[in-house]
Amino acid sequence: MTSDRWRRIEALYHEVLAHPLHERAGALATACAGDSALQAEVQSLLDQPEPVGLLGTPVVKVAVPVAAPAKATLTGQRVGVFEVRGLLGAGGMGEVYRAWDPRLAREVALKVLPGDVADNPTRRRRFLEEARAIGSLNHPNIVAVFDVGIGEGIPFIATELLDGRQLQDEMDVGVLPIRRLLDLAVQIAAGLRAAHDAGIAHRDLKPQNVMVTRDGRVKILDFGLAKASGVDRDVTGGQPGTLTAPGIVQGTPNYMSPEQA
C-alpha cells in the first residue's frame, strides 16, 4: 500500500467520523464512489471501539488505558504449582505475573489468559500457539519457556523472569548511540533469524515486545500472534484459516511491515 493510499484512508476516516453515527455508512459510500476496497479499509477503522488517531499516534499511547482495566488480580493465589506474587503487566494477549516455582525454588514470569476470555476457544488456541512457538525455540535472544498448562481453569505459560526493561523504555530516554543501536539490532535480528529458521514468523515485533536485560542481552517476547511462515496453518497444527482470515488485522498497525500493511 502506498503512502498516498494511506493518506486517502486517513482523510476519509476523519471526514466520515465527523458525521452523526446514523449517517456514516451513507457518507462513506458516497465518498468512496464505488471503490469497495477503499470503503472496506475505512470501515475497518470506523468499526474500532472508539475513534483514535490511528495513523498519526503510536497505538501504545492510546491502548494503555484500555489494556489495563481496574479488576481483581491473581496476586496471592496459586495457578497450578505456581504461587502468584504480583502483577507485572497486562495487554491484549494476556496478563503477566511474577510467580514462585516451589519445585525449583525460583521466580518465573507467569503469563495467563484473563478470566473474561479464558473460556474462549479461539483465545485458548492462540495461547497454546504462543506456548508452542516459543517452546520450540532455543536461542539466547528469545525468552525461554519453562512450563505450560492449565491451573484452576486458567491457561498459563511460565517463562524466565527477566531483569531489565522494555526496549521502548530505552527509546523514550532519547536517541540511542549508534553503537548501542547496532548492538540491539544485531541481537534482535539473530533472534528473529532463529525463529524464521524454525518456520515461525512473530508478526508483532515492536519495542514493547523486546526486553533488554541489565547485562545488555536482548530477549524477544510475546509470540501470541506467531504463525508458521510460508504455509496456511497455525503453530498448533489446526486447520487452514482457523485463526487467521483475509481482511483480519493481526498485529500493531504502527509496527506492521510494509507488505503486511
Average pLDDT taken over every residue of the chain: 79
| Cα–Cα dist 9/27, whole Å | 14
Q: Single out the catalytic residue among 147, 204, 222, 234.
A: 204
Helix-, strand-, coil-residue percentages of the chain, each rounded to 5? 35, 20, 40
In this prediction, residue 69 carries a pLDDT of: 43
Q: What's the average model confidence in pLDDT over 35-59?
A: 65
| Element of type H or E holding 201 | strand 200-201
pLDDT in tens, 160-206: 999 999 999 989 988 889 999 999 999 999 999 999 999 998 888 99
Is pLDDT at 36 greater than 70 in this prediction? yes
* Residue 204 designated active-site: yes
Global confidence as pTM: 0.63
Nearest by Cα to 255 from 171, 138, 140: 171
Q: Three cell numbers at 93?
A: 494477549
Burial environment of residue 239 by CB neighbours within 10 A (0 to 12, 13 to 18, 19 or more): exposed
| Cα–Cα dist 189/166, whole Å | 17
Rg over alpha carbons for the chain, rounded to the nearest Å, is 20
Burial environment of residue 65 by CB neighbours within 10 A (0 to 12, 13 to 18, 19 or more): exposed
Q: What's the average model confidence in pLDDT over 226-239?
A: 51
In this prediction, residue 27 carries a pLDDT of: 84
